[in-house]
């Protein structure tokens, strides 16, 4: 259905051949504007299940597997195989091939990169506690401004510091305070865990609501084939 709307062009497979063949112009492009995709009104979230493909999702949600292109278009998927989460065995084969391993066990012991986990715990003056955790990719060699040297951070060792805030301008001995405790831990991220996290991040997609499917198809016909 999708490519049937693409315009046709005359193409000669041999430069010396005077006979041209009518072919589909696969270089034509159709996309949805970013501001439309970011509008939550026309879409809803969908959690991909094991064994789902663009075709099965299109059939379940729209009643027609040929509308798989809408699933891919809305989520900007260029490869419907690898842009969908892979099954465990497929993911293992991908990792082995991508990293040149002889077995998947190597992916469990090889380090992909390091992250620093920073946990901020704020105990407020009214007794409410707020915890915020941020993970950032880093190198273990960090610059120490106090000593003006490069320091290699230890792995899986938590460094904690606390800061006390006065809640008012009264005497420090009697002022109500709030405490911010910051804990930093450098952690290794192993190849399998990293690739599995990337794979799982593809599991939630968004789908176009049913009432907008026909208008989108009509727009496709107009844009690609002049409405014919």
Provide the 3-class DSSP secondary structure of residue 163: strand
CB-CB neighbours of 11 under 10 Å: 11
Q: What is the pLDDT of residue 224?
A: 65
How far apart are the C-alpha atoms of 66 and 54, rounded to whole Å? 9
CB-CB neighbours of 70 under 10 Å: 25
Phi, psi torsion values for 49, nearest 5 degrees: -100, 165
CB-CB neighbours of 192 under 10 Å: 20
Q: What is the pLDDT of residue 227?
A: 47
First to last CA, the chain: 14
Domain ranges for the chain: 3-84+204-225, 113-187
Residue 83: burial class (beta carbons within 10 Å; 0-12, 13-18, 19+): middle
| Cβ(80)–Cβ(48) below 8 Å | no
| Cβ(36)–Cβ(47) below 8 Å | no
Phi, psi torsion values for 14, nearest 5 degrees: -125, 125
Tens digits of pLDDT across the chain (228 residues): 555 556 566 666 666 666 777 666 555 556 666 666 667 788 999 999 988 999 999 999 999 999 998 999 889 888 888 899 999 999 999 999 999 999 999 999 999 999 999 999 998 877 788 999 999 999 999 888 888 899 898 999 999 999 887 766 555 666 667 889 999 999 999 999 999 999 999 999 999 999 988 888 887 777 666 544
């Amino acid at each position: 259905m999708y490519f049937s709307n693409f315009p046709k062009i005359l193409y000669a497979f041999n430069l010396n051949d005077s006979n041209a063949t009518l072919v589909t112009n696969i270089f034509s492009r159709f996309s949805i504007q970013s501001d439309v995709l970011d509008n939550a009104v026309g879409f809803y979230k969908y959690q991909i299940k094991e064994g789902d493909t663009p075709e099965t999702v299109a059939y379940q949600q729209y009643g027609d597997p040929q509308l798989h292109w809408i699933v891919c278009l809305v989520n900007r998927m260029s490869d419907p195989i690898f842009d969908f989460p892979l099954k465990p065995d497929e993911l293992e084969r991908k990792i082995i091939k991508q990293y040149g391993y002889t077995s998947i066990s190597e992916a469990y012991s090889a380090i992909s990169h390091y992250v620093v986990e920073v946990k901020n715990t704020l105990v407020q003056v009214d007794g409410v506690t707020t915890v915020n955790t941020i993970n950032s990719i880093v190198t273990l060699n960090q610059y120490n401004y106090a000593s003006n040297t490069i320091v290699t951070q230890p792995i899986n060792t938590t460094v904690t510091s606390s800061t006390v805030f006065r809640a008012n301008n009264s005497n420090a001995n009697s002022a109500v305070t709030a405490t911010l405790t910051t804990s930093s831990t450098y952690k290794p991220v192993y190849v399998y865990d990293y690739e599995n996290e990337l794979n799982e991040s593809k599991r939630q997609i968004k789908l176009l609501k049913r009432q907008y499917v026909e208008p989108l198809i009509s727009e496709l016909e107009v844009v690609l084939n002049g409405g014919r």
